[in-house]
Amino acid sequence: MSTALVTGAGAGIGYAFARRLAARGHDLVLVGRDAGRLEQFAGVLRGAHRVDVEVLPADLTVPADLGRVAARLADPGRPVDLLVSNAGAGIAGSFVGGDLAVELARLDLLVRAVLVLTHAAVPGMVARGRGAVVTVASVAAFLPGGTYSAAKAWAVTFSTSLALELEGTGVTATALCPGYVRTEFHERAGIDVGAIPRVAWLQADRLVADCLADVARGRPVSIPGRRYRLAVALLRHLPLRATAVAGRQRLRMRER
């Protein structure tokens, strides 16, 4: 039976991944900041699916915590076959005149933690000849929408580059690029979602199912929802000034 480690497993997309993987028979390592919530979820998953669930509380912006999670991923005696780097947070407000400490903390979470954990997990997967890495990015990666978009663009480029490097090893890398998903994310980021049309929303469970299907196919980028795939295809062919309109709209929504 294989083991999956999911960061940001306490809610939203992370917990949807944990539920789906447990239902498929995967043992789990749940990583997040809220130990109480993780323990509660772990109990539910153990009871419903009879899988082993390990709880690993960690704040991935804290070097010591990040190091503990990396060590768990690199432990040859307890191999992890699927890493889901989902932990994330939005960045409210503009970069100019903004709080540099907040920006650096988000950079640690969205970029540095992904890099460190992937670096810890992949060598063991390659040695075993199997495994997968899923990095949760965003359709924001394709928009000039501030440092959040920049971090997600890094995640997409990192994942696609890693996918090429891993060809022939039995290990895959996939960047998941969702649009708006009904989770706690927007509330925590202070984003006003009142103006977002109903048709724009994705459901976390369906998104995860679609992503795991793309992982099984070895696709380096997973964009759930036909409307978002069409939007990204269009954005890739528009001039920068045109895509900046959508990027500015995203920034205004974060500032409300």
Domain ranges across the chain = 3-255
Q: Rounded to whole angstroms, what are the CA distances from 172 to 14, 134, 211, 219?
A: 19, 8, 13, 8
Which residues are identified as catalytic?
Answer: 148
Which of the four pLDDT bands, split at 50, 70 and 90, describes residue 200? low
Which pLDDT score is estimated for 224?
A: 81
Classify the phi-psi angles of 93: left when phi > 0, otherwise alpha if psi is within -120 to 50, otherwise beta.
left
Which pLDDT score is estimated for 192?
A: 53
Which of the four pLDDT bands, split at 50, 70 and 90, describes residue 245? very low
How does pLDDT run across 138-197, given as a tens digit for each residue? 988 888 778 999 999 999 999 999 999 999 999 999 999 987 666 655 455 455 555 555
CATH architecture group of domain 3-255: 3-Layer(aba) Sandwich (3.40)
Which pLDDT score is estimated for 151?
A: 95
Which of the four pLDDT bands, split at 50, 70 and 90, describes residue 255? very low
Which pLDDT score is estimated for 150?
A: 93
pLDDT value at 256 more than 60:
no
Share of the chain above pLDDT 70, in %: 79
Which pLDDT score is estimated for 183?
A: 60
